A and B are shown apart, each in its own frame.
Chain A
Amino acid sequence: AGGADELKRFVNDTRTVSAKFTQIQTNERGEKLASSSGEMILSRPGRFRWSYTQPYDQLMVCDGAKIWLYDPDLSQVTVRPAAEALSGTPAALLAQKSTLTDQFSIEELGQRQGSEGVRLRPLNADGDFEAIELWLSRGAPDRMVFLDRIGNRTEVAFSQIQVNGKIDETQLRFKPPKGVEVVESGGGPQRTTE
């Protein structure tokens, strides 16, 4: 089964995924910019929890309607519509209903270390990312690579992957803690355009 078939299998058969992840960002000269790790829960379609614990706590929850990003050290929650965030986060990508062919061109990458790969190139040119690699095995993602438009690379590796297990629904909801600023946001250096 090629990468595209694994992707179809994932889209058709996979309802929930829970896993630990590590994330490493490198620049175009291959120098390491940052590394982080945490846990994620995915409930398809449309909902996920992406929780960093290293190097500091950072929580991202998509409840199907909105994506919440909570930074406890900054006591700030930034929130934006879930639909807007398709190209923004790996979990948003994985949470999509469709096989992504309507938003990405899909190229087979063959097999590596027991998983099948596809390269997704956004059809609209002004997304955040140049390309996204998705490596899957037995219908679940085990690695993702994000290439942004200025040559930096973010690699996310999953471990302890459980597919279609029971999910704690409360983990997929977010209520801003008392006293924390809630801000409509573009999510990155961009701010929302009025």
Chain B
Amino acid sequence: CSLSPQQRELSSAEKGAAYARHEAQILGIESFQVDGRAASAELGFRADLHWLERADRHFELRLAGPFGAGAVELRGDADLVEVRNSDGVQQTADPEGWIRHRYGWTLPISGLRYWALGVPNPRIPSQPSLDAQGRLETLIQNGWKLTYSEYRREGEYDLPRRFEADNGQVRLKLLIDRWNLQPEIGSP
């Protein structure tokens, strides 16, 4: 993968400044689409993951096994989510709890919208630590610990390709195969 231009070691002040610029730049991304994978060794699952985040703060998340087996789709916003799977359609205000109850694991849905981009949710407290290029290396927020191990250049952005999310009960490996930063252009 391509390393970002500033490969040499930055001082901590330079790192802080680089991070502030990086974070502000990333927070400018209002809508995006991600194709990737989520897996948990302990819980023995591996799923294809599609996430669409819209500018109006609605999201669509799809998780499925091989050939679409066991697919589950969540659509909604921070307050209310419609969940569709083989049992039918239900509504929930707690999608993370719903997934944990139904599948025995969960995904930090409220945080993922920011964490997948490699920035903290700006509205709640967080404890970041930075890598050599002034990007997030670890982040503790909302009961989850994120560890970013690989970034990849996407146009003018350095975006995460590989990271882990751990809340003490669930440890997820997340891998992003494809970014689309203009998902709403041309879609119906």
The answer to whether B103 touches A190 (Cβ under 8 A) is yes
A34 CB contacts on chain B under 8 angstroms: 35, 48, 50
When the two chains form the complex, which single residue of B37, B42, B44, B69 contacts A148, counting CB atoms closer than 8 Å? B69
B69 CB contacts on chain A under 8 angstroms: 87-89, 128-129, 148, 187-188
Q: Answer whether residue A16 sits at the interface, using C-beta atoms and an 8 A cutoff.
A: no
Alpha-carbon distance between A172 and B184 when the two chains are bound, in angstroms: 43
Q: Answer whether residue B73 sits at the interface, using C-beta atoms and an 8 A cutoff.
A: yes
CB closest residue in chain A, given B35: A34
B72 CB contacts on chain A under 8 angstroms: 150, 189
The answer to whether B67 touches A90 (Cβ under 8 A) is yes
> In residues 43-90 of chain B, which contact A (Cβ within 8 Å)?
43-48, 50, 62-73, 84-86
A89 CB contacts on chain B under 8 angstroms: 66-67, 69
Q: With both chains docked as a complex, state the minimum distance between the C-beta of B150 and any C-beta of chain A, in angstroms.
A: 10
CB closest residue in chain A, given B43: A191
Alpha-carbon distance between A8 and B44 when the two chains are bound, in angstroms: 37
Q: With both chains docked as a complex, state the minimum distance between the C-beta of B83 and any C-beta of chain A, in angstroms.
A: 10
Q: Answer whether residue B187 sits at the interface, using C-beta atoms and an 8 A cutoff.
A: yes
The answer to whether A189 touches B175 (Cβ under 8 A) is no
The answer to whether B178 touches A183 (Cβ under 8 A) is no
Q: Answer whether residue B41 sits at the interface, using C-beta atoms and an 8 A cutoff.
A: yes
The answer to whether B39 touches A71 (Cβ under 8 A) is yes
Which of A25-33, A100-108, A160-168 is the interface stretch?
A25-33
Alpha-carbon distance between A25 and B35 when the two chains are bound, in angstroms: 13
Q: Answer whether residue B152 sits at the interface, using C-beta atoms and an 8 A cutoff.
A: no
The answer to whether A148 touches B39 (Cβ under 8 A) is no
Q: Answer whether residue B188 sits at the interface, using C-beta atoms and an 8 A cutoff.
A: yes
A185 CB contacts on chain B under 8 angstroms: 44-46
Alpha-carbon distance between A1 and B46 when the two chains are bound, in angstroms: 41
Q: Answer whether residue A69 sits at the interface, using C-beta atoms and an 8 A cutoff.
A: yes
Q: Answer whether residue A146 sits at the interface, using C-beta atoms and an 8 A cutoff.
A: yes
A88 CB contacts on chain B under 8 angstroms: 65-67, 69
Hey, what's the 0/1 contact readout for A132-155 against B, CB within 8 Å counting as 1?
A: 000000000000001011101110
- Give me 24 A-to-B residue pairs in the complex whose CB atoms sit less than 8 angstroms apart, sorted by A's number: A23-B67, A29-B188, A69-B66, A71-B37, A76-B46, A88-B65, A89-B66, A148-B71, A149-B85, A149-B86, A150-B72, A152-B64, A152-B68, A156-B67, A186-B65, A187-B45, A188-B69, A189-B47, A189-B63, A189-B65, A189-B70, A190-B70, A191-B40, A191-B104
Give me 14 other A-B pairs in contact (C-beta within 8 A), A76-B39, A150-B71 excluded.
Answer: A31-B187, A33-B50, A69-B46, A76-B173, A128-B65, A148-B71, A148-B86, A150-B84, A154-B67, A186-B45, A188-B45, A189-B47, A189-B72, A190-B103
